[in-house]
Amino acid sequence: MTGDDPDDEASADCVPSDGDPSDGGKADAPPTVTLADIEDARRRLADVAHRTPLDTSRTFAEMSGAASLGLKLESLQRTGSFKIRGAYNAMAQLSPAEREAGVIAASAGNHAQGVALAADLLGIEATIVVPEVTPAAKIAATRGYGATVLVEGDIYERSYEYAVTRADETGETFVHPFDDPAVVAGQGTIGLELLAQYPAMDTVLVAIGGGGLISGIGTAVAPADRDVRVIGVQPEGAAHAGPSLAAGEIRQLDDVDTVAEGIADTRMLETTFAVASEVVDDVVTVSDREIAAAVTLLAEREKTVAEGAGAAPLAAALSDRLDLSDANPAVVVSGGNVNLTDHAELTRTGLFELGRYAEARLALAAWPRQVGEVVEAVTAEGAELDTLERARRTAADRPNRTPVTIGIEGRGADHLDAVLTAVAEIDGVSVVERSVADGD
């Protein structure tokens, strides 16, 4: 898979990449990206991309052990992610003939909307190829920016292949989501903003999918008059960058498996690997549950909706994989495009990971009267009843009891245990199963 919307399957070990036949015969030495390229991109984007806010968080600084912590909220960028920066910078440099021929891209996510908006602003016809699994809401959003959307292929890889083949046949310019120096330079404008907005910054945490974002930001901050560590973050189920950089060659995953679909790429490509090899200091991995916890904390403490990929760097900052003692890290929240139902599921999982959510299966002797007693017991203990529903009966259930499942939000594992103990003390109610995380 070669873009930003790979199929979500089981993970596998990294293997060396033999190259991508769709790369169009790139030279052995990929084009470099310079600070001058990024400064040129900043001028092109001056009236196009938002200078997104840098919000410092005392809470997250304390939780991570940092002296201070800044959140770069690209989730508030136009289209809800950083992708407009690279897409516009690349497309603004097309020749008149290339603009006339139009552009094509493959994506079911943020890249689609970035290309669509850039095309609308530049007066270029854009076609976006999406896989059959793309949610209708994302298709509608992309069409809303004026792009033509074609549904081709059961997974992203098939959509990518179709788009590349069509570009060869029609003369349309294929806009790659990351393996393009102009795209990398556009993403690098975030680094220039960070240097100006966060003078104390000595570390920057950036999610890695195909590597365009971290390559751009790393290039921007490298010449700064202060030493800035550039730390990449990947989900455990799509962790190709660390092995690649350590081996000095591109390593490719057979499959990926992560909730952070925006960075579920199987590898970097030539341009991003070459740049990242020069500017990335370290790469750490985080679990999907840690990502869910970060999504939850961003919503609760920062009032920010983040997708899994956008929350991954914060998950790393709050994990035990990094020593941020007395450091001043910037965390790039790269996007906030997530379906509300998916966000609700992520926050529920996040609360469980934080030790603040419990699920239990009850057996009630007097249905439905005792439902009220259960609600009163939960409320009296100062917890919040999130769900309560009659459960499907199993062979293990007593015939004269009604099975019920509940979900409870509380202050922590000890509090939730106390709540379920109070429920179990109701005459005629028993707690058959309980699931409470410890939050560690």
What is the structure's pLDDT at 4? 45
Same-domain status, 49 and 197: yes
**Residue 40: is its pLDDT beyond 90?**
yes
Of 349, 370, 397, which closes a domain? 349
- CB proximity list for 163: less than 8 A, separation 6 or greater: 104, 105, 106, 127, 129, 152, 174
Mark whether 419 and 373 lie in a shared domain.
yes
Output the pTM of the full model. Answer: 0.89
Cα separation, 200 vs 69, whole angstroms? 9
**Mean of per-residue pLDDT scores for the chain:** 92
Residue 16, in any domain of the structure: no
- State yes or no: pLDDT of 20 exceeds 60: no
- The confidence score (pLDDT) of residue 156 equals 82
Which run of H or of E encompasses 409?
strand 402-409
Query: What are 331-351's pLDDT values in tens digits?
Result: 999 999 998 999 999 999 999
Same domain, 161 and 274: no
Report pLDDT for 12: 38
Instruction: Give per-residue pLDDT as tens, 297-311.
Output: 999 999 999 999 999
Q: Does a structural domain hold residue 258?
A: yes
> Are residues 242 and 309 located together in one domain of the fold?
yes
* CA nearest to 235, candidates 131, 133, 310, 179: 310
13 found inside a domain: no
Share in percent of the chain as helix, strand, coil (round to 5): 45, 20, 40
- Is the confidence at residue 267, as pLDDT, over 80? yes
- The 3-state DSSP class for residue 61 equals helix
pLDDT tens digits, one per residue of 57-76: 999 999 999 999 999 999 99
Cα separations in angstroms, 434 against 134, 377, 386, 417, 428: 36, 16, 15, 9, 17
Name the band, by pLDDT with cuts 50, 70 and 90, for residue 137.
confident
> What is the model's pLDDT at position 14?
58
Of the pLDDT bands very low, low, confident and very high (cuts 50, 70, 90), residue 30 is: low
- Does residue 179 form part of some domain? no
Q: Say which residues have a Cβ less than 8 Å from residue 303's Cβ, sequence separation at least 6.
A: none
Yes or no: say if 146 and 120 are a contact pair by the CB < 8 Å rule. yes
Percent of the chain with pLDDT over 90: 85
Res 436: pLDDT: 77
As a whole number of angstroms, the distance between CA 271 and CA 234 comes to 19
Give the total number of structural domains in the chain: 3
**Chosen domain end from 123, 151, 174:** 174
Average pLDDT for residues 245-266, to the nearest whole number?
94
- Tell me: pLDDT of 1 over 50: no
Hey, is 186 helix, strand or coil?
helix
20 found inside a domain: no
Name the band, by pLDDT with cuts 50, 70 and 90, for residue 136. confident
Q: Which domain holds residue 430?
A: 356-436
d(CA 344, CA 305): 11
C-alpha–C-alpha distance, residues 361 and 387, integer Å: 11
- Confirm whether 210 is domain-assigned: yes
The residues annotated with a catalytic role in the active site are 83, 334
State the pLDDT at residue 440: 54
Judge if 341 and 228 occupy the same domain. yes
Phi, psi of 330 (to 5 degrees): -105, 130
Statement: residue 2 has pLDDT above 50? no
Q: Are residues 129 and 229 in the same domain?
A: no
The residue-averaged pLDDT of 47-51 equals: 98
Is 196 in the same domain as 335?
Answer: yes
Looking at the fold, whether 336 and 385 belong to one and the same domain comes out as no
151, 265: one domain: no
User: Could you tell me the pLDDT band of residue 135, with boundaries at 50, 70 and 90?
Assistant: confident
Cβ-based burial of 291 (10 A; exposed 0-12, middle 13-18, buried ≥19): buried
**Statement: residue 8 has pLDDT above 60:** no
Q: What is the pLDDT of residues 138-183, one digit of tens each?
A: 888 899 999 999 999 888 888 999 999 999 999 999 999 999 999 9
- CB contact at 8 A, 337 and 109: yes
What pLDDT, on a 0 to 100 scale, did the predictor assign at position 16?
A: 58
- Asked if the structure places residue 18 within a domain, the reply is no
What is the Cα 1 distance to its own chain's centre? 17
Whether 153 and 204 share a structural domain: no
- Assign residue 361 the CATH number of its domain: 3.30.70.60
Tokens for 96? 């008149």
Q: Which two tokens stand for residue 395?
A: 């062979």
In a domain, 304, yes or no: yes
What is the dihedral sign for C-alpha 337, 339, 344, 348? negative
For residues 274 and 190, state if they share a domain.
yes
pLDDT reported for residue 10: 32
Q: Output the domain CATH number for residue 117.
A: 3.40.50.1100
The domain boundary residue, chosen from 146, 174, 202: 174
Question: Sheet harboring 173-174: ordered strands across?
Answer: 148-151, 126-130, 103-106, 173-174
Are residues 408 and 379 part of one domain? yes
pLDDT at residue 157, rounded to an integer = 82
